[in-house]
Amino acid sequence: MSRRNGLRERARALSDEEFASISWVRRLAPIEQDRARDAMVVTLAQPGDYICRIGRPVTYWFGLIDGLLKMSNDDSQGPIMTFVGLAPGGWFGEGTALKREIYRYNVQALRKSLVAGLPVETFHWLLDHSIGFNRFVMWQLNERLGQFIAAREIDRITDPDVRVARSVANLFHPGLFPGVGSMLRITQQELAYLVGLSRQRVNQALAVLDEAGLIEVVYGGLKVLDLTQLRSFAGHRPDTVAGLGR
């Protein structure tokens, strides 16, 4: 991590409210919950802090309680490519934790973010002892695959309005990011970082989506008014997604 020692020094035990907010905890038996609670820590990452960094060995399985993160490639070989945004309630890095390998991506805080960490040894203990935890991890891996396929599609979409619509819909995924609720705290500049467009162009796209009744731009963030229609927005504009067929 960037400022890795600082993040670890600020680590503390989770509060009752923070622990209860973790969706997969409800799948665990009481003894499994106790094991997870005793091992888990939470820390406050500042903007720019790296939670995971390419080449570092895995030590924790991470979850975002509050804030906003981005997952991206290394910039040493060229421009940074953002793979996906990570919104509140989301857990990430289970594939790396399963294989106990080094990270092949960076995860960086875009704003002050409260990040929970489950030690990789406890992660594997739960895999060995909890059917409920295994089912969650299997579901998470499947959803994550779909998320990355969608991200690849977004990269090939030339229409900025569609790119923004897809990216916003992804951040409101009710399963992967259950902590978002009806409103996501995000600035237009933060969304621009995730989408790979200028802030001005993102602002224009949000205005289009707002006028269409799909989202509402509110102070400090966004509300999604019709997630189903937002997800299918590209389907209503076939002339803008010709790149998908290439």
The runs of H, that is alpha helices, within 107-177 are: 120-129, 131-156, 160-171
Instruction: Tell me what the mean pLDDT of segment 113-125 comes to.
Output: 97
Contact present, 215 and 182 (Cβ < 8 Å) = no
pLDDT at 78 over 80: no
Whole-number pLDDT of residue 5: 54
Q: How far, in Å, CA of 127 to CA of 140, rounded?
A: 13
Burial of 4 (0-12, 13-18, 19+ CB in 10 A): middle
How much of the chain exceeds pLDDT 70, in percent? 86
Whole-number pLDDT of residue 243: 35
Q: How far, in Å, CA of 74 to CA of 129, rounded?
A: 36
* pLDDT confidence tier of residue 159, bands split at 50, 70 and 90: confident
* pLDDT confidence tier of residue 2, bands split at 50, 70 and 90: very low
Q: Which residues of 61-71 are buried (b: 16+ CB within 10 A; e: fewer)?
A: bbbbbbbbbbb
Q: How far, in Å, CA of 117 to CA of 41, rounded?
A: 5
What's the pLDDT tens digit per position in 181-208?
A: 889 999 999 999 888 889 999 999 999 9
- Highest averaged pLDDT of the listed ranges 120-129, 160-169, 216-225, 231-240: 120-129
Contact present, 150 and 162 (Cβ < 8 Å) = no
pLDDT at 240 over 60: no
The identity of residue 128, as a single letter, is D
**Domain 158-238, CATH class in plain words:** mainly alpha
Whole-number pLDDT of residue 156: 63
Whole-number pLDDT of residue 82: 77
Q: How far, in Å, CA of 239 to CA of 16, rounded?
A: 50
CATH topology of domain 4-149: Jelly Rolls (2.60.120)
What's the pLDDT tens digit per position in 87-96?
A: 999 999 999 9
Summary mean pLDDT of the chain: 87
Tell me which residue of 125, 149, 148 sits closest to 137, measured CA to CA. 125
**Residues forming a β-bridge with 86:** 69
Kindly list the domain boundaries of the chain, sorted by start residue: 4-149, 158-238
pLDDT-wise least confident of 26-30, 82-86, 90-94, 199-203: 82-86
Tell me which residue of 71, 63, 106, 123 sits closest to 88, measured CA to CA. 63
Centroid of chain to Cα 134: 20
Q: How far, in Å, CA of 161 to CA of 6, rounded?
A: 39
Query: Strand 221-224 relative to strand 106-109: parallel, antiparallel, unpaired?
Result: unpaired
